[in-house]
Amino acid sequence: MKLRNIAIIAHVDHGKTTLVDELLKQSGAFRENQRIAERAMDSNDIEKERGITILAKATSVEWKDTRINIVDTPGHADFGGEVERILSMVDGAVLLVDAAEGPMPQTKFVVGKALKVGLKPIVAINKIDRPDARADEVINEVFDLFAALDATDEQLDFPILYGSGRDGWMNEGPEGPKDQGLAPLFDLVLKHVPEPTTEPGAFRMIGTILEANPFLGRIITGRIAAGSIKPNQAVKVLHHDGTLLENGRISKILAFRGLERQPIEEAQAGDIVAIAGLSKGTVADTFCDPTISQPMEAQPIDPPTVTMSFIVNDSPLAGTEGDKVTSRVIRDRLLKEAEGNVALKIEEAEDKDSFYVSGRGELQLAVLIETMRREGFELAVSRPRVVMQKDESGQLLEPIEEVVIDVDEEHSGIVVQKMSERKAEMTELKPSGGNRQRLVFHAPTRGLIGYQSELLTDTRGTAIMNRLFHEYQPYKGEIGGRVNGVLISNDNGESVAFAMWNLEDRGPMIIDAGVKVYQGMIIGIHSRDNDLEVNVLKGKKLSNVRAAGKDEAVKLTPPIRMTLERALSWIQEDELVEVTPKSIRLRKLYLDPNERKRFEKTRAGAA
């Protein structure tokens, strides 16, 4: 059977996974009566809840006499490590662009990587049925983007389709016809995307996606670059520096057939398959015939820009809600995560009770914490910090991001003001249709930590912010932090509604009444800039005197809900987020007030 390997690439929310669903349906991958979930490719719970793709996944469809292997890629820059590896597996790409939003930061990132490896993308203008669609302008913007990324003449001569992935049609004209479904896209893939290039010689393959299976052990997905492979065949695994990791045998070869993976008896060069049976090989390693001594070249991965401390939970409530609390199990889990996710970097601290986890952004790290929490882990995590570098002359460099904010015109002033306070430089301002403006900034990553929730408050929830790592630049100087102090519990026990009611003048609460608290735990936001220890355990004094105006009804203002991302971005250097399967609590790094004072003095002395 003829083969084609393609990736679907786009900015987040431009419709990649929905389009893959329609491709599967129209190619006959599903039975007529088969029940399938919306966005069938989003497999894990967090992907379904957030409506985003986190892990790249492969599938395949048959069209005419050709099998098309399709890889669905994430759209968030935080998961860009997945995209970089995937592009080395395919020979073509379908670039989806929203007909109203046009090319966005992540589009630029992915297209840049695709052009660099020599792919000639097909451009599909999606969501053409939107009332604010502006297809012709978007095409010009895509062309300008390709030109700015040094595309060759062949790459600039890209074919264009228009359509709606949700409605299941694509065609050469914006008006249709719509009755052909996605057939024009399938036919264009067969015509425009070259057959997989294979090399002569024995079996070779680079690992691209790693996953653990309870029955088969480690499963590695990749594209066979040369030769063929059968079950029980002897193979060896070479690290990218040429060292031998292991010798072993392939226990099973799984090929992608629709949404299912089926065992096959032989796989040929050019096909994308998953192999099982090896215990050490991981992403970017070369799986090859025992006669081969040189590893294949893997795509370099961009370095991480944000780091956080994962600390063993030592609060008074440690171990009451989760069953995985020791440093050993946390360490094993983090190392296992780093094996499959090459964009993550794990380092152990000297005290052995904390780990430095570095990644592409807060979202990537928050998804890791949320996943661990659901698996029963308890841990404390620090505020995200940026990864600094030094140049040859010893000058301190920090990561700068390109930030694109789409906002209603009336709110653009406050956005520009807040961004300039965060040392951002505006590079572009243009109308983006519908009385909205698109503001483009170059801003230090430090200043963007925690800005998302503030932006939504300032713009009444109407702004959309997209970020992408730009480059390292000289340190921009101090950036102001949070202006409010916190309310801290001064004892262990359960919060009492009466006490909280009396404390409402001091500032809004972040916990409910009847919640377990401990000394050093943050229970609210102080209305002033200093921290304040308060007693939330004090109940009402009961007496036998009853008078008409004596008993006031206790009506509490609903607390501010701290989600994991909001808590991570809101805390300061001397605070931690305690994460358990049931709760997210905020606390001071030092629970004892005397230790806190000592820490403040040493910090003031150092300053």
548: Cβ–Cβ under 8 A, 6 or more apart, which residues? none
Determine what percent of the chain is predicted with pLDDT higher than 70: 90
pLDDT of residue 125: 92
pLDDT of residue 81: 62
Give the span between the Cα atoms of 499 and 541, in whole angstroms: 11
Give the span between the Cα atoms of 269 and 196, in whole angstroms: 8
Is 129 annotated to bind ligand?
A: yes
Residue, of 380 and 31, whose pLDDT is higher: 380
pLDDT of residue 442: 93
CATH topology of domain 389-474: Alpha-Beta Plaits (3.30.70)
Residue 54 clears pLDDT 60, i.e. is over it: no
Q: How far is CA 281 from the centre of its chain?
A: 24
Residue 114 CB neighbour total at 10 angstroms: 24
pLDDT of residue 22: 83
- What is the per-residue pLDDT across 377-427, written as a single tens digit (0 to 9) for each? 999 999 888 888 888 888 999 989 888 888 889 999 999 999 998 899 999
Poorest-confidence range of 186-190, 335-339, 384-388? Answer: 335-339
pLDDT of residue 298: 76
Q: Please name which of 108, 64, 53, 597 lies closest in space to residue 367, comparing C-alpha atoms.
A: 53
Joined tokens for residue 34: 């088969």
Is 17 annotated to bind ligand?
A: yes
Start-to-end CA span in the chain (Å): 69
- Write down the mean pLDDT value for the chain: 85
Which CATH superfamily includes the segment(s) 2-192?
A: P-loop containing nucleotide triphosphate hydrolases (3.40.50.300)
pLDDT of residue 305: 83
Q: Please name which of 15, 57, 17, 23 lies closest in space to residue 189, comparing C-alpha atoms.
A: 23
Give the span between the Cα atoms of 379 and 259, in whole angstroms: 35
Strands 66-72 and 92-98: unpaired
Give the span between the Cα atoms of 279 and 276, in whole angstroms: 9
Residue 64 clears pLDDT 90, i.e. is over it: no
pLDDT of residue 275: 92
Give the span between the Cα atoms of 10 and 15, in whole angstroms: 8
Q: Are the beta carbons of 78 and 87 closer than 8 angstroms?
A: no
Long-range interactions of 147-151: CB distance < 8 A, separation 24+: 149/108, 149/111, 149/112, 149/115, 150/115, 151/115
Is 18 annotated to bind ligand?
A: yes
Q: Average pLDDT in the 451-475 region?
A: 84
pLDDT of residue 417: 92
Poorest-confidence range of 37-41, 93-97, 315-319, 449-453? Answer: 37-41
pLDDT range class, residue 33, cuts 50, 70, 90 = very low
Is 13 annotated to bind ligand?
A: yes
Residue, of 52 and 112, whose pLDDT is higher: 112
pLDDT of residue 511: 92
Poorest-confidence range of 390-399, 485-494, 517-526? Answer: 390-399
Q: Average pLDDT in the 287-304 region?
A: 82
Going from N- to C-terminal start, the domains of the chain cover: 2-192, 204-288, 389-474, 486-543+552-606
Q: How far is CA 453 from the centre of its chain?
A: 17
pLDDT of residue 380: 94
Is 405 annotated to bind ligand?
A: no
3-state secondary structure of 98: strand
Q: Are the beta carbons of 423 and 444 closer than 8 angstroms?
A: yes
- What is the per-residue pLDDT across 201-252, written as a single tens digit (0 to 9) for each? 889 998 888 877 778 888 888 889 899 999 999 999 998 888 898 899 999 9
Q: Average pLDDT in the 424-445 region?
A: 87
Long-range interactions of 138-142: CB distance < 8 A, separation 24+: 138/97, 138/98, 138/99, 138/100, 138/102, 138/103, 141/102, 141/103, 142/95, 142/97, 142/102, 142/103
pLDDT range class, residue 123, cuts 50, 70, 90 = very high
Amino acid symbol at 562: M
The CA-based angle 430-434-439, given to 5 degrees, is 25
Is 525 annotated to bind ligand?
A: no
Model confidence, pTM: 0.79
pLDDT of residue 552: 62
The CA-based angle 238-240-242, given to 5 degrees, is 55
pLDDT of residue 40: 47
CATH topology of domain 204-288: Elongation Factor Tu (Ef-tu); domain 3 (2.40.30)
pLDDT of residue 548: 54
Residue 521 clears pLDDT 90, i.e. is over it: yes
pLDDT range class, residue 44, cuts 50, 70, 90 = low
Give the span between the Cα atoms of 124 and 166, in whole angstroms: 13
Give the span between the Cα atoms of 576 and 248, in whole angstroms: 44
Q: Does domain 486-543+552-606 have CATH number 2.40.50.140?
A: no
pLDDT of residue 377: 93
pLDDT of residue 39: 47
Partner residues linked to 359 by β-bridges: 306
Amino acid symbol at 312: V
